[in-house]
Amino acid sequence: MKLSGRKDWELRPIIVDGDWTFVTKNSVDFRGPKDNPGSKGQYADVAIHAGLICLNGPPGMDLDMQLELFEVVLSEIGAIDDLINQVLEVTAEDDDTLRVCRYFLPADQV
């Protein structure tokens, strides 16, 4: 798609208008702060979207770890109907465990 190097705010309309599910390792910029997702970030005011997938790891997360997290994402996606207005986060914790979290964004979609 030749979007490398684009700013977050430049990507959002392309992703949302194209009805894409977006995968990022830049979670905070898209979903907002971890303790209050949707309060800020590029998806804070998006009423409907095809889903946001966040890969969370240590600073400097290498490609091997990203692929490991994405394998978990693919397994999770295989077990659900869709990700409309949802965030799926896979986080590599400090104790080498992987945590999966799925929630609605905007939060009032429950």
Confidence of residue 23 (pLDDT cuts 50, 70, 90): very high
State the DSSP H helix or E strand holding residue 65, giving kind and residue range, or none if neither: helix 63-77
Residue 43 lies in a domain: yes
- Domain holding 102, by residue range, is 8-109
Residue 1 lies in a domain: no
Residue 3 lies in a domain: no
Residue 88 has a CB neighbour count (10 Å cut-off) of 21
pLDDT score recorded for residue 109 = 64
Q: Can you give the pTM of this predicted structure?
A: 0.91
- 105 Cβ partners below 8 Å, 6+ apart? 31, 37, 38, 43, 49, 52, 85, 86, 87
Q: Which two tokens stand for residue 9?
A: 């705010």
Residue 40 lies in a domain: yes
Residue 2 lies in a domain: no
Please give the tally of structural domains in the chain: 1
Residue 19 lies in a domain: yes
Least confident of 1-15, 23-37, 77-91: 1-15
